Amino acid sequence: MEMYKRWLQFDEDTKNELLGLDEKEIMERFYKELEFGTGGLRGIIGAGTNRMNVYTVRKATQGLANYILKQKVKDPSVAIAYDSRLYSDIFATEAALVLNANGIKTFIYKELRPTPMLSFAVRYLKTTAGIVITASHNPKEYNGYKVYWSDGGQITEAHAEGILNEIKNVDYSEIKTVDLERAKESGLFKLIDDEVETAYINLVKGLTVNKDVVNNVKDSLKVIYTPLHGTGNKPVRRVLAELGYKNVYVVKEQENPDPNFSTVKYPNPEEHEVFTRAIEMAKEMEADLIIGTDPDCDRVGVVVKNKEGEYIVLTGNQTGALLTHYILENLKATGKMPENGVVIKTIVTTEMARRIAEDYNVEIMDVLTGFKYIGERIKEFEEKKDKTFVFGFEESYGYLAGDFVRDKDAVIASMLICEMAGFYKLKGMSLYEGLLSLYERYGYFKEDLKSVTLEGIEGSQRIKEIMDMLRNNPPKEIAGVKAVVVKDYKESVERDLRDGKEEKINLPKSNVIQVILEDESIITARPSGTEPKIKFYFAVRGENLKDSEKKLNKVKEEFLGMFSI
């Protein structure tokens, strides 16, 4: 209540918003600070310490500025990008002005741009850090603030902890800021020029795996594209146009930036409903492929035609498996396969990728959930020069090829998906038929995700109870199949339930529990670090599609029933 009363003095708009709140809402907005995790900030837009607003953005930025200055870097600088969400442009400018007031130069995009282009700008401009204002695919009520370091990757634990400590020590009265005109006059506030974007686009086009495929299908492949009111519209269409694709059609109703995301409930390509209009267009035009990118254009969803002629949305795992196979197959065919190539996936991503990589004698590596860990590995490969990054992906629709970006990139992925669709088209196959051929070759892998929202103080406690139960008293069997291994990533221990033997997990600590069954089914529980959610991942392998579907449903139903979810 003391903090609430203090916020009433900040400005008239904030005061008027706060005076209209009941006691419960005041508690929700002020019972804690908006948490700065390894992904930065993410929260509902509004006044209060537990909300996204100008003041929490300034406080986070002052903490970041203090941290940067303590690194004793010569001529420190920060690149900044923002998406189409409410106040994204304002938060981006406010962050820049706090940095400028602390003597740190900023480079900010002239208009909204994808998150991966921020990662690229950090590397290209050789800045100390980067900020992107986005809440990715969250509902319209949210916004967020992600921090990147000089390698272009999202900050990992060491930097996050240091920045968090600085933020905690910042009082709102200590935050420095400066007027925009003065910042420009001082030379500290700079706009990113077109040269940076053109350099990025040219490097993306250079990632074409098989130019013959592109040349043979660019006149015939029909693609429907939706940017879902976000940042992907210009860069995705520019790359495809410059490669010569003649038949790329945008969903007009979803083409322009819109902070209300007025045509969708959630601007998330994982939600099938976002493709309703695109599918109508595809049917009218007999399109080969639909692609849709999320608001900050780091994730992409794919829709293809099945054998019955219906358009179906692929899962992130299915698209990732298809891309893994396509890239490895064509690198091998064109003689470009590196001897020390590596495919990287997260611990909750399909095991089909492992089978595919092994088939091509390519190493596959698991990392924790979060693309920053893939970026971290790429940095290690670059420094040690012992391995070559080939491709990385996670089940939540994030993919990356090339090493000039260090985060998932839907511009790159959109280009590769179009090329891959062309590859199968030249064989007289749809992408769906390509997927079926992979199932026949590598096994019928099936995965699903159940995300449960548990908001507020009570929800936070419930999530803790679920994780404690799995950690201290894991199930002995699920759906009639014995549990044989439990992996506790928080304790860094893998325990064999049959003989009690333990092995160390050589990954950073994370609050994740995995239960592996005798038939190699995997169940993973993971609280979200940015949202009031706990996520349950399920993965099985069956004799055929029907068998794997049946097995998946049985495992899901019984496991979730243990928690009355």
CA atoms within 13 Å, Cβ hemisphere of 166 = 21
Q: CA 208, CA 221: separation in Å to the nearest integer?
A: 16
The answer to whether residues 342 and 362 touch, using CB atoms and an 8 Å cutoff, is yes
Q: Are the C-beta atoms of 381 and 340 separated by less than 8 Å?
A: no
- Cα–Cα distance list, 78 to 25, 69, 150, 152, 472 (Å): 35, 12, 9, 11, 44
Active-site entry in 77, 136, 510, 548 = 136
Q: Does the annotation mark 510 as catalytic?
A: no
Q: Exposed, middle or buried: residue 65 (CB in 10 Å: 0-12, 13-18, 19+)? A: buried
3-state helix, strand, coil in the chain (%, to 5): 40, 20, 35
Q: Kindly report the backbone phi and psi dihedral angles of residue 130, in degrees, each rounded to the nearest multiple of 5, phi listed first.
A: -145, 155
Amino acid identity, position 258: D
CB atoms under 10 Å from CB of 277, counted, come to: 17
Going by C-alpha positions, the residue among 227, 290, 292 that lies closest to residue 253 is: 227
Q: Which of 194, 170, 243 is nearest to 422 (CA)?
A: 243
CA dihedral angle for residue 33, residue 34, residue 36, residue 38, rounded to 10 degrees: 140
Which active-site residues does the annotation give? 136
